[in-house]
Amino acid sequence: MLKALALARPKKRLFLGLLLASEFFVALALYGLWLICCPGLENIFEYLPAIVGIFLIVVSTISFGAVCNMVLAVKGLPTLKLFHRYSFALIKLLFPVAVRIGKVFGIKRRQLEGSFIAVSNLIFMKSGIKVPAKRLLVLSPHCLQLTSCPHKITRDPNNCKRCGGCNVGDLMKLADELGFTFFVATGGTLARQVVMKIRPQAVLAIACERDLMSGIQDVYPLPAVGVLNIRPNGPCNNTRVDMDEVRRVLDQIIDKRSDGR
């Protein structure tokens, strides 16, 4: 049952399609605003409308290039690293527009967030990022722990007794085996504090769609990859994670040739 839930992968095309639609509507709105402002701009300085117009064209071209770069990544084609740095800034700007467009077509925000995570992870992997295990931070939500467990593991996951009742013990064992830093956070604020304190080279986060999306954007430009948790009992209640998926991601981003020095 858990495996079936884990394999329900979001479609990357959903997010990219709505992002392109958002790009079009924003560009159209900027063009309309430019037309309205042209007479006033010309009164200030004769060439100001042309300067502002060129600036808007450059910004639109860069943002369109960033979206096209994501499309190339999804298609398995070579991408331009030049546009990687603009991707998350563009997403942060256009996502609210994409959500509103999605509502018109009956697309739920959670679907869109899941699609974003799939695209973001693909860009991460396409970047060929490899870090020493000691410079990797793995963050887990506290809902991964059984609600009936008496041991407090937030801030100190070493309090876990590794009884096998939840995946926290599995992640602790994996941390011991591979050497990465593992932390259980109660929310986004604590997670950001941990990132600032530890200063890793990369982050692997386990969470729901909403928390992963906000977290990945919050830590940017620090590279982050997300693994969705599994919620057989609903959100924030005895959640699980596909450990095979976690291992697969770790194998791709940990540089086993480095000792972390």
pLDDT digits (tens, 9 = 90+) for 155-173: 788 888 988 889 999 999 9
In sequence order, which ranges of the chain are alpha helices (DSSP H)?
2-6, 12-44, 48-74, 81-104, 109-126, 167-178, 188-198, 209-219, 243-253
| Average pLDDT value over all residues in the chain | 85
Asked if the model's pLDDT at residue 90 lies above 60, the reply is: yes
pLDDT for residue 84: 67
Q: Which residue has the higher pLDDT, 223 or 6?
A: 223
Report residue 259's pLDDT band, with 50, 70 and 90 as the boundaries: low
CB-based burial of residue 150 (10 Å sphere; 0-12 exposed, 13-18 middle, 19+ buried)?
exposed
Residue 1 in this model has a pLDDT that exceeds 60? no
pLDDT higher than 50, residue 5: no
**pLDDT at res. 206:** 93
Residue 85 has pLDDT above 70, yes or no: no
pLDDT above 70 covers a percentage of the chain that reads 92
Mean pLDDT of the 92-107 span: 84
According to CATH, what is the number of the domain 133-253?
3.40.50
42 vs 15, residue with greater confidence: 42
Q: For residues 98 and 110, what is the distance between their CA atoms, to the nearest angstrom?
A: 12
Using the 8-state DSSP alphabet, how is residue 135 labeled? G
Full DSSP string of 30-73: HHHHHHHHHHHHHHH-TTHHHHHHHHHHHHHHHHHHHHHHHHHH
**pLDDT computed for residue 9 by the predictor:** 54
Residue 185's DSSP bridge partners are 141
Where is pLDDT greater, at 185 or 176? 176
Report whether pLDDT(250) > 90. yes
Q: What is the pLDDT of residue 7?
A: 40
Residue 240 identity (one-letter amino acid): R
> Cβ–Cβ contacts within 10 Å for residue 90, how many?
21
pLDDT at residue 2, as a whole number: 42
User: What's the average model confidence in pLDDT over 181-209?
Assistant: 88
Q: What is the pLDDT of residue 193?
A: 85
Task: Tell which residue, 133, 125, 128, has the closest CA to residue 256.
Answer: 133
The residues spanned by each domain of the chain are: 2-126, 133-253
Q: What pTM value is reported for the model?
A: 0.78
Question: What integer pLDDT is reported at residue 240 of this predicted model?
Answer: 93
Question: What value does the CA radius of gyration of the chain take, rounded to a whole number of Å?
Answer: 21
Name the band, by pLDDT with cuts 50, 70 and 90, for residue 82. Answer: low
Q: At which residue do the structure tokens 């924003």 appear?
A: 26
Residue among 248, 132, 246 at smallest CA distance from 200: 132
More confident residue, 67 or 51: 51
